[in-house]
Amino acid sequence: MFKTARIKLTAWYLLIIMLVSMSFSVVIFRVLTSELDRFERVERVRIERRFPAIDEIKHRLILRLININVFIFVGSALAGYLLAGRTLKPIAEMVDEQNRFITDASHELRTPLTALKSEIEVNLRDRKLSLAQAKTLLQSNLEEVNSLQVLSDGLIRLTQYQKEHNGLVISDVSLTDVAKVAIHKVIHAAKGKKITITNDIQNINLQGNQTALTELLVIFLDNAIKYSPKQSMIHLTSKKSDGHILIDITDQGIGIDEKDIPHLFDRFYRADKSRTKTGIPGYGLGLSIAKQIVVQHNGTIRVKSELKKGTTFTIELPI
């Protein structure tokens, strides 16, 4: 589709350029020939003795103009093709991203939907289904529905943060307040694994959206809890640096393989180690959402990790 569109766009560029070029050529030719005709009438004898015939000069002029137009045609074709490619590139990337999004989402939705359908079909064929078995089925179905809801909510939030104009209200935000709220949201999960969270966030104000920044810290803290062993520690620290605030979330978890780090923030990506060895549930949307939140706040994220020793995520935001 885009190859055809690129060729068509190139053709339009070429048509416009050649129309302009040929128009200029016609004008130049008429001006020059009119001047030559005038000289021919006034000084016919002298011109015929000292210069080639006027007809020969006109012929040479036409040949040169043709050569110039051929050169313009070839150059314009190449330039137009390159320009069309640059023009269509962001559109092609957007469509490719949209197609990947649909494919990824469809793949993730298929698993819980298949489980729901299989369980319901099997139990519907069981004529001796008891009340206890029905309740077990409904409980299992509810878990799958909750899983679908988590996925759909994550997709909606990711889509919202990816929008250029997403309605985020920017105001003066206290980083200490953001950290306290975020820790409060994950403290139950931390206590369940007897994990201690230390909060050494400085009392700094920055321009941002408090809800989004709170969700940002919740995502990283929640990840740290999921991939950390019981009775370990998670450190939340901050420091100023050249007009920026650096926020570190450090855990003592399983770590991340170096080959996985470049893909951590890709949608639906989960490192092989976390997926196959720990069996931790999730869809790999959290870090994608976190990245979009940081982008919306004109910040960056860095990752430093060592297998079996832990991971540090560093968020850098302007203040």
DSSP string, 214-233: HHHHHHHHHHHHHTS-TT-E
How would residue 73 be classed by pLDDT, with cut points 50, 70 and 90?
Answer: confident
CA angle 31, 33, 36 (to 5 degrees): 110
Residue 277 has pLDDT above 50, yes or no: no
What would the mean pLDDT of 298-319 be, rounded to a whole number? 92
Which of 52-61, 160-169, 179-188, 268-277 has the highest average model confidence (pLDDT)? 179-188
Residue 78 shares a structural domain with residue 133: no
Residue 185 shares a structural domain with residue 310: yes
Residue 187 shares a structural domain with residue 305: yes
What would the mean pLDDT of 108-112 be, rounded to a whole number? 72
How would residue 275 be classed by pLDDT, with cut points 50, 70 and 90?
Answer: very low
Mean pLDDT estimate for the chain: 79
Residue 62 shares a structural domain with residue 138: no
Residue 276 has what pLDDT? 41
Residue 209 shares a structural domain with residue 126: no
How would residue 46 be classed by pLDDT, with cut points 50, 70 and 90?
Answer: low
How would residue 294 be classed by pLDDT, with cut points 50, 70 and 90?
Answer: very high
Q: How far apart are CA 108 and CA 149, in angstroms?
A: 12
Last residue of a domain, one of 96, 121, 136: 96
What would the mean pLDDT of 25-47 be, rounded to a whole number? 65
Total domain count for the chain? Answer: 3
Exposed, middle or buried: residue 32 (CB in 10 Å: 0-12, 13-18, 19+)? middle
What would the mean pLDDT of 215-234 be, rounded to a whole number? 93
The region of weakest confidence among 36-45, 181-190, 207-216 is 36-45
Residue 175: how many CB atoms within 10 A of its CB? 22
Residue 189 shares a structural domain with residue 276: yes
Residue 83 shares a structural domain with residue 206: no
Last residue of a domain, one of 63, 79, 96: 96
Q: How far apart are CA 28 and CA 69, in angstroms?
A: 13
Last residue of a domain, one of 79, 96, 113: 96
The region of weakest confidence among 103-112, 139-148, 256-265 is 103-112
**Cα dist. 97→13, 105, 159 in Å?**
28, 12, 12
Which of 80-84, 141-145, 224-228 has the highest average model confidence (pLDDT)? 224-228
Q: Model's pTM, two decimal places?
A: 0.61
Residue 148 shares a structural domain with residue 203: no
CA 78 to chain centre: 30
Residue 182 has pLDDT above 50, yes or no: yes
Which own/partner pairs from 109-116 qualify as long-range (CB within 8 Å, at least 24 positions apart)? Answer: 109/148, 109/151, 112/144, 112/145, 112/147, 112/148, 112/151, 113/144, 113/148, 115/144, 116/141, 116/144, 116/145
Residue 118: domain span: 105-162
